Structure 1
Amino acid sequence: MSSQRYYASEQYLLPADMTESTRLNLQHQVIVQAFDNRLSLAPLDLASGNRVLESAAGTGIWALEFYEQNKNKGRTLQVECIDISEKQFPPEPPSDVHFSVHSVLDLPANWSARFAYVHQRLLITAMNDSLWHKAISEMFRVLAPGGWVELVEIEGKDRRFNVGPSSSKLQALVLKMYSERGIIGDLGAYLPPLLEKIGFEDVRCEARTVSVGRSGKNGYRSNEFRDIWKGMKLNVLKGGGYGIIETEEEFEEILQESMFEWNNSNKASCTFYTILGRKG
């Protein structure tokens, strides 16, 4: 049995511990590179003193870099970072970057119309249809008029990492798990009309496809991509292997063999979306 991982929620499939923090910080670089080395695609016009909210902040790496980038341009922002667990928060953030334990499903009542910009990344494995409606409504509420929301998500339905028997088995397992848990995979198609329904304007979506392979050039290294699914092992086993695998050892074997398949293929990939909307 492998070492115990820490999970902050029954709902969210991935852990919230130091191992996951390392993975998230590596993944941050993959995503930023995919979107032309930009931390944000929103057409922002921020000024010193503006408040920014990062939901599902994790290690805070995006917020800290966004804060520093703006500070270097002469803008000192007030950045509020929230997550359902404090386990991954940085020990000594700048005084203008504040971390607190909150859920995007239930933001403080006094945050209404407070933020000029709300950023959230990769909550796909924590959400179902009703939770997405609640989260988007809460983000709309806390945005000031004219403010932007930016959601960065990964394609979870039209997968492209099945390049051999083991990675095909892994892909089938992930799709079955998502289906049984009510996780919405095609967020590039699902989220834009939901934003419009909630009241956002100027809604748009940009997609970028990144590679999965040995080099990690223009995407994930194979071992980094494997570690996403490795973090879900507890929930895979709780789900009885979803009819695809039977034991922890079998799951570990599939992960290792999938990594070798990605290392020896130039076809494995995944797609990220950035979805933007403005509060009128």
Structure 2
Amino acid sequence: MGEIQSEVYILSRDAEESARLNRQHDFLVEVYGNNLIHPSIPKENIQSVADIATGTGIWLRDAATVLGMQNRNPSSPYYLHGFDISSAQFQPVPTQTNAEIYLSLQNCLEPFPPEHHGRYDFVHVRLLIGALRKGEYELAIKNIFDILKPGGYFQWEEANADSITSDITPQPPSLTESRRLLLDYVEKSGLFTMPANYIKSEAKRIGFGNLHIEEYNTASRPHLRDWSRAWLTRLVRLLMPMAMIRLGKASEEDVAREMAEELMAEFERECAEATVGLTMEMVIGKKPERRGVCCK
């Protein structure tokens, strides 16, 4: 299959990154209190699901298990469809007795094919903070609205990049510098540092109701302390070289990687005993039961 290019996305799509995404999925589900789907969304009403920016498809594979616990009639399997701008990270879909899982190419900024309009009870989106520029979110939200059935829900999970912090006072210099560089890169690339509130306001304008935002801090529970620090350190280490290049701190990739590694080595030393994390924000909304009637 071909690929749809995205200029702003800077992470790789190789096997190592796919493994990181799968580990990140397990971590985030733990951060959300082991809730793959927010408790406010009635799972018993879900039969068809779309996963936007599906990556490896791991969220869908877990969704098949979670939904299967609803004891639905196996003769009426769940329909789960993952969409992504690239097929490079699609992984083989295991055979499910209770679900049909499909993965296909789709840019969420482009209208979905007509056969997907009004098809889904639930749409899931996660971590497009590094892929969508300001002004593009409304296109994605409108396309999500179109593929949902009346009365269907969406759940959109995003990071609050401005919330990166530790429990050390004052903040370690390397953490402060890493955070500053990442925020500068996000701003200068035309991205949102805190997209959740904008997603909520645009969803309301487009016609969604029942809108609310749930916040989760990745270091909020003691058993996540080391996991949170390791996850965030790994993510920052991946982002930093390209951020340095795009900010003009380095002109060559090798130099940027060396500079980033020096900063991250200091980060790991200064934060070895710290609790480091950020806030994940989950936007939940519902499409009205019929056009022109807004939810409350």
- Report TM bin, short chain: 0.7 to 0.9
Normalization by structure 1: what TM-score? 0.87
Give the Cα–Cα distance (whole angstroms) in 2 for the partners of residues 65 and 94 of structure 1. Answer: 13
Post-superposition shift, 1:66?
A: 0.8
Distance 1:218 1:77, change over 3 A: farther
- In the alignment, structure 2 segments of 5+ residues that lack a partner are 289-296
SS in 1 for 2:136: helix
- Aligned residue runs from structure 1 range 263-274, under 5 A: 263-266=272-275, 268-274=276-282
- Aligned residue runs from structure 1 range 209-248, under 5 A: 209-211=217-219, 217-218=224-225, 220-233=227-240, 235-241=242-248, 247-248=256-257
Post-superposition shift, 1:234?
A: 5.1
Contact 2:52–2:126 under 8 Å retained in 1: yes
Contact 1:8–1:15 under 8 Å retained in 2: no
Structure 1 letter corresponding to 2:192: I
Structure 1 letter corresponding to 2:233: R
The residue that corresponds to 1:198 in the other structure is 206
SS in 2 for 1:156: strand
The residue that corresponds to 1:4 in the other structure is none
Structure 2 letter corresponding to 1:264: E
Structure 2 letter corresponding to 1:227: R
SS in 1 for 2:219: strand
Post-superposition shift, 1:232?
A: 2.2
SS in 1 for 2:92: coil
The residue that corresponds to 1:44 in the other structure is 42
Q: 2:266 is matched with which residue: 243, 254, 257?
A: 257
Post-superposition shift, 1:240?
A: 4.2
SS in 2 for 1:256: helix
Q: Which runs of 4+ in 1 moved over 6 A?
A: none
Structure 1 letter corresponding to 2:126: R
Distance 1:69 1:158, change over 3 A: closer
The residue that corresponds to 1:156 in the other structure is 161
Structure 2 letter corresponding to 1:16: R
The residue that corresponds to 1:34 in the other structure is 31
Count of matched residue pairs: 270
Query: Is 1:14 matched up with 2:11?
Result: yes
> What percent of counterpart residues are identical?
25
SS in 2 for 1:258: helix
Normalization by structure 2: what TM-score? 0.83
Post-superposition shift, 1:219?
A: 6.6
SS in 2 for 1:155: strand
Give the Cα–Cα distance (whole angstroms) in 2 for the partners of residues 44 and 165 of structure 1. Answer: 45
Contact 2:81–2:101 under 8 Å retained in 1: yes
Distance 1:171 1:212, change over 3 A: farther
- Aligned residue runs from structure 1 range 79-118, under 5 A: 79-94=80-95, 96-106=100-110, 107-118=112-123
Q: 2:52 is matched with which residue: 43, 50, 55?
A: 55
Give the Cα–Cα distance (whole angstroms) in 1 for the partners of residues 142 and 92 of structure 2. Answer: 31
